[in-house]
Amino acid sequence: MTTNDKKITFRFLSLLKRYRRRIIFLMVALFLSIVFSLFSPMLSRELMDQGLMKGNFKVILRVTLMLFFLRQASALLSLWIEKKRLSIVYDFRFRLERQAVHHILAIQADYFHKVGQSELLNQIDVDVNYICSILNTNTLSIIASVFTIAGGIGAAIYIDARLAVLFFSMLPFKYLIIHIHSKQQKKKLNLFLEKSMAYARWFSEVVTGMMDIRIFGLEQKKQEEFTKMDGEKIAAHKSMDALSQYRSLADGTLDAVMNLLIFLIGGMLIVQGELTVGSLYAFLSYSSYIMAPLSSILNLKFILTNVLPSATRFFEFLDREEEKQEVLQKNFEIESLDKKKKEDRTSTTELYRTSFLKTGDKAKENDIKKNEISSDTSFQKLYFFEEASALRDPSAFEIEYRNVFFHYHSETESKQILNDFCLKISAGEKLALIGVNGSGKTTLMRLLLRFYPCQRGSIFLHGQPIELFPLKEYRTLFSVVSQDIYLFNDTIRNNVCMYRDFKEDKVFEVLQEVGLGELVKERGMDFLVGINGAFLSGGQKQKVALARALLHNRPIFLFDEATSNTDIDFEARFRRMLADRLADKIVIMITHNADLLQSASNIVLIEEGRVLCHGSYQELTEKEEQFANWIEKIKNN
């Protein structure tokens, strides 16, 4: 076992610590079951030699009843053991899956560019299944099997030492078979996991791109790809199954040879009067008591060979870096808190509530009321908000991108997106970002939302680096309508309110404002929208997303092609919102709509990761030829 395998094994075993008391009870129960089973061969020998062979009915009756009650007690005990084992397995599985989901909700956003949803689901499901297999009945009995082996060895030697020596001489061959097969199994399992992931990745692409597959007639091509991908996966699985069959065949052959030799030598001893038939029968029973648990112990390596690749991959997934929720202190000088501020925590909490949460978000306010600030770290977070006057007065917000560099990189290439990008956004500004696809417009929003860190440079909110602010609280500053809108398979109400409590008349007012009033009157706010809004049109989905943003009413609005699927009437309605409802908000929008650009107070044309030119629509049209050419292209399209 390699050093890494040992680390993974210890880490896995640490997950089982919480179950140690229940596992100990199981071991005690298994031990009792073993004790019951150890008496059976001796009773069977007495039944055969003293009862059946001598025609003694009293012995037959007594021993038969004893065997019956012993086996019934053992069966009931086994039933209890299995029930308790399953409760551990299901709880362990739940905790592993909960840990995975918790990590998915916190993992850095770039991970989801590398793995598809079906691929990720398949990976977690396969890995959790293999990890939980360590808790099957055979594995747990390994710990208790030491007692079985000890009792079986003692009883076998007691019955006949010569047969015992013959039996023990075969055990090294048993170890050799398992050792050889476990090495091969690890290689074959890794190959199977690799092919399974490739198939899941392919399947995810097929489901996601189903419309294009049908439009361009790619069904035959995808059938051929399926035959290849699934064939490779099945071949890898068949190879694993074949190896298991070969191992079973080798085990069975060794057991048959062992039994053959025991019967031959035992038969000779019976003929010579040195062994009874019952003793031979009892010896064979005890040999199975030794061989079965010994095989389980030797098979532990084989079992771990199945578990370790999945456990390694699962732990590697859990070790992927998560978003940093806490304030980053290492790159910035943080002013120490004076005693007066430390003592006056109540007033600081009130400041946080009244200044930061001017959004109608009562749920967040109630959370603050319920949770007292009990540590310097929590208080320090609030101190940052106190120091940032922008958070006390949202109308004074200022955002600055200062010398920002960013590039995307994959296994095959690295692409520079932002190159020393600089931009200031004033309070109440309506900023429009334009540029060719891949120029970095959406990336600027993702950096501002802290889905990605700036690789060089930084973004400032009213003079403070955004990394200074606790992430969850920081993101409550933004209302976002992205280009790739996602709606949950839930009601219109929950997709707009996002599971927070808002007054129904306020929700309906916003829905009416975005043009969904008739839909709600017809179907109600509790209408289920389907998976990702499948029961709504593209325009209706965008309106639901916009209603969500307006209802939460945060200080900064980010719109990424927010009107791309809507009609002309809605575009006019949206322009009125910018001028009236969102007049005091910072609005950053990505758009290729020439009419909407005229509603922006500042337009920034991005080229090769830098600001090529900026200004109002009229200024740019009159003075910047590049912008005029850009507008001409938009109008022509």
Domain definitions of the chain by residue range: 3-318, 479-553
Confidence at residue 448, expressed as pLDDT on a 0 to 100 scale: 94
Strands in 330-483 per DSSP E: 399-409, 414-425, 430-434, 456-461, 464-465, 478-481
pLDDT score for 302:
63
**CA–CA gap between residue 40 and residue 285 (Å, rounded):** 9
Q: Is domain 3-318 given the CATH code 1.20.1560.10 in the classification?
A: yes
Helix (H) or strand (E) holding 615: strand 610-615
Distances (CA, A) of 369 to 187, 240, 363: 56, 58, 10
Cα(309)–Cα(190) distance, integer angstroms: 7
Please say whether the beta carbons of 476 and 554 come within 8 A: yes
Sign of the dihedral through C-alpha 535, 541, 544, 548: positive
Whether 155 and 250 have beta carbons less than 8 Å apart is answered as no
Beta strands in 435-493 (DSSP E): 456-461, 464-465, 478-481
Asked if residues 562 and 546 have their Cβ atoms less than 8 Å apart, the reply is: yes
Q: Give the per-residue pLDDT at 457.
A: 92
Q: Please identify every stretch of the chain with a pLDDT value under 50, giving residue numbers as ranges.
A: 328-392
Closest among 68, 123, 44 to 317, alpha carbons compared: 123
Q: What is the pLDDT of residue 519?
A: 92
- Concatenated DSSP letters for 478-532? EEEE-SS----SSBHHHHHHTT----HHHHHHHHHHTT-HHHHHHH-TT-B--GG
Beta bridge partners of 615: 603
Instruction: Give the per-residue pLDDT at 295.
Output: 66
Pick the CATH number of 479-553 from 2.20.25.160, 3.40.50.300, 1.10.8.420, 3.30.413.10: 3.40.50.300
- CA angle centred on 144, ends 140 and 149, rounded to 5°: 125
CA-CA-CA-CA torsion sign (274, 279, 283, 286): negative
What pLDDT score was predicted for residue 444?
A: 93
Q: What is the pLDDT of residue 385?
A: 47
Q: Note the pLDDT of residue 633.
A: 75
> Over the stretch 327-356, which tens digit does the pLDDT of each residue have?
544 343 333 334 434 444 344 334 334 334
Cα torsion through 224, 226, 230, 232, rounded to 10: 40
* 560 sits in which H/E element: strand 556-560
Chain centroid to CA 333 = 36
Taking the C-alpha atoms of residue 143 and residue 147, their distance in angstroms, rounded to an integer, is 9
List phi, psi (to 5°) of 335. -65, 130
pLDDT digits (tens, 9 = 90+) for 16-57: 888 888 888 888 888 788 778 778 888 888 888 888 888 888
Q: What pLDDT, on a 0 to 100 scale, did the predictor assign at position 509?
A: 93
> How many angstroms from the chain centroid is the CA of residue 173?
43
- The single residue listed with the structure tokens 């909407």 is 596
Enumerate residues 6+ apart whose C-beta is below 8 A from 237: 192
Alpha helices in 272-326 (DSSP H): 277-318
Cα 556 to Cα 459: distance, rounded to the nearest angstrom: 15
